[in-house]
Amino acid sequence: MFSKRLVRILGVVLFVLINIVLLSISAKHTHRHTIIDRLVIAGVAPLQECVINTMRFCRNIWRHYFYLVEAREECDRIKGMIAKAEIEKSRYLESELACERLRELLEVKSEVSHRILPAQVVGLDPSGWFKTVIINKGTKEGVSKGMAVIAPGGIVGHVVGAYYRYAKVLLIIDRNSAIDALVQRTRSRGIVEGDTSENCRFKYIARKADIKIGDIVISSGLDGLFPKGLRVGAISEISVPPSGLFQEVRVRPFVDFTRLEELLVILE
Amino acid sequence: MALLLYFVLGLSTILAQTTILRLDGILYDLLIPLVVFLSLNFPKRKGILVVVILGLIMDILSGAIFGLYLSIYFWIFLSVKGLSKCFDVGDTIFQSVLIGVCVLGQHFMFCAPCKGAQLLTVRVVPVLLQTVFAMLTGPGILMLLEALHIRLQAAIRRLERNRGIAIR
């Protein structure tokens, strides 16, 4: 009665209709939690989780490894930049300090009426017993034996040896050094002598001389080495022995001899 | 040639002592172990030449009385030479005492020209510290120098042998 072909077409249409009806029915009952759903989810989801986690772990390792390499490179680059900046900073600081020192030297230069030659300390005394320094100016620049050497703080010493490009300066704290000096306030005269410490002794100050701690000691100019009025130091200790003609006085020099760098040689 | 090397070594020590090192604290004159070493390992005529030159340089650079360093090194050299004939100078304890005495002797020579009141200002603690430090480190420095000396001798011998082969 019906051809085979027509039966097939009707069958397909029927399946489509049934499908549509079932879908319509299913659409009314969304998010069902049947036992099958639960079983499937319970069985598959952990595996998915495992796979996903493994993948994520691998991806993270991969990404973080490269990230760390990049971070390390970045870190090295920044470290380099910081080091450069530190060097730069140190250089600026050093320049600033040098400027400060040179400015002080210029001030001293303008204060002192004599012809003055700036010099730098290039060597120290090899022993702790003697106090001399080597400066980078010598006979070539006009330095000669006996010339006074000063710093912004005050008197440093005098030249004891002049060579072609260098000179040896005996510091006032050396035990062989002596300066004719006077107390600025009372004009009491004495001799400032060095000893093995960083201080000096102020000798031949009469017992009755009016001096007190903190008084400034200046050069008298009578020794023929140092011009008059150059600051030597401040009185730091006074003791009057029970007998004798003089007081025992110690003077703390204004110059810090542990940090000598730039000096001025008085050429005249 | 070996002497030239020790001279350069001494000169480097002087340079260090006059620029970066300060001998005010615990550090003693490092030329003393070198002088002792030269005395122990070189003949009188050769060794004394280096010692005298180093002493002269030190005298020139220092504010000490001219010839003080020269005399100190000279006498250390001769004394050690004399002692080496009577004692076993290879003994570490002996070397330690020897260097300690040399350092103490040097300080004694430095403060010898001090007049009356100046002697009171002599700082005893740094002197003692330096002496103890010299006693502790001196034998080590001598050992280092001796190791250097052995290698140097071997190198010189090798060089001479090679030169001999080349000439032949």
**pLDDT tens figures, A70-104:** 788 888 888 888 888 887 887 888 788 878 877 77
pLDDT recorded at residue A37 = 62
Domain boundary among A139, A171, A203: A171
Complex ipTM > 0.90: no
Nearest CA in chain A to B13: A126
| CA–CA distance, A213 with A204 (Å, rounded to integer) | 16
| CA–CA distance, A256 with A247 (Å, rounded to integer) | 25
- A to B CB pairs, distance under 8 Å: 60
A61 and A87 inside one domain: yes
**Cα→Cα distances B20→A112, B12, B23, B27, B129, Å:** 32, 11, 10, 12, 20
A107 and A120 inside one domain: no
In a domain, A268, yes or no: no
| Lowest mean pLDDT, pick from A22-36, A53-67, A207-221 | A22-36
pLDDT recorded at residue B166 = 64
Residue A143's CATH number: 2.40.10.340
Could you tell me the two tokens for B87? Answer: 């004692």
The model's pLDDT over A175-226, given as tens digits with 9 standing for 90+, comes to 888 899 988 888 888 999 887 677 888 888 888 888 888 888 998 888 888 8
pLDDT recorded at residue B43 = 85
DSSP letters of A51-74? HHHHHHHHHHHHHHHHHHHHHHHH
| CA–CA distance, B12 with A6 (Å, rounded to integer) | 115
Buried b (16+ CB within 10 A) or exposed e, A16-47: eeeeeeeeeeeeeeeeeeeeeeeeeeeeeeee
| CA–CA distance, A10 with A5 (Å, rounded to integer) | 9
pLDDT(B165) > 80: no
pLDDT recorded at residue B118 = 56
pLDDT(A40) > 70: no
Facing residues of A205 across strands? A247
- Residue A133, min C-alpha distance to chain B (Å): 8
Q: Which candidate from B19, B23, B121 shows the least CB-CB separation from A128?
A: B23
Residue with tokens 């403060």: B111
Q: Give residue B122's domain range.
A: 2-167
| Lowest mean pLDDT, pick from A110-119, A148-157, A186-195, B30-39 | A110-119
Asked if A128 reaches chain B (Cβ–Cβ under 8 Å), the answer is yes
In a domain, A229, yes or no: yes
Q: Give residue A196's domain range.
A: 178-257
Asked if A121 reaches chain B (Cβ–Cβ under 8 Å), the answer is no
Query: Which pairing describes strands A216-219 and A246-253: parallel, antiparallel, or unpaired?
Result: unpaired
A227 and A246 inside one domain: yes
Highest mean pLDDT among B25-34, B83-92, B122-131: B25-34
- Residue A216, min C-alpha distance to chain B (Å): 23
pLDDT recorded at residue A17 = 85
pLDDT(A66) > 80: no
Facing residues of A148 across strands? A158
Number of independent structural domains in chain A: 3
Q: Which of B12, B19, B109 to mutate to test the interface with A (most CBs of A within 10 A)?
A: B19
Residue A1 binned pLDDT confidence (cut-offs 50, 70, 90): low
Helices B44-61 and B68-86: crossing angle in degrees, nearest 10, is 150
Q: Evaluate whether A175 touches A196 at the Cβ level (below 8 Å).
A: yes
Q: Which of B23, B27, B57 to mutate to test the interface with A (most CBs of A within 10 A)?
A: B23
pLDDT(B119) > 60: no
Asked if A123 reaches chain B (Cβ–Cβ under 8 Å), the answer is yes
Asked if B62 reaches chain A (Cβ–Cβ under 8 Å), the answer is yes
In a domain, A264, yes or no: no
Mean pLDDT across chain B: 82
- Helices and strands, counts by H and E, chain B: 7, 0
pLDDT recorded at residue A157 = 92
pLDDT recorded at residue A112 = 66
Number of independent structural domains in chain B: 1
| CA–CA distance, A251 with A179 (Å, rounded to integer) | 12
Domain boundary among A171, A195, A214: A171
Residue A227's CATH number: 2.40.10.350
**Regarding predicted confidence, which is higher, B72 or A37?**
B72
A44 and A88 inside one domain: yes
- Residue A61, min C-alpha distance to chain B (Å): 52
Tell me whether residues B121 and A132 touch, CB distance under 8 A.
no
Tell me which chain A residues have a C-beta less than 8 angstroms from the C-beta of B107.
Answer: 129
Residue with tokens 């110059």: A255
pLDDT(B27) > 80: yes
pLDDT recorded at residue A36 = 66
Nearest CA in chain A to B109: A129
**Cα→Cα distances B10→A150, B18, B80, B148, Å:** 33, 12, 18, 14
Percent of chain A with pLDDT over 90: 6
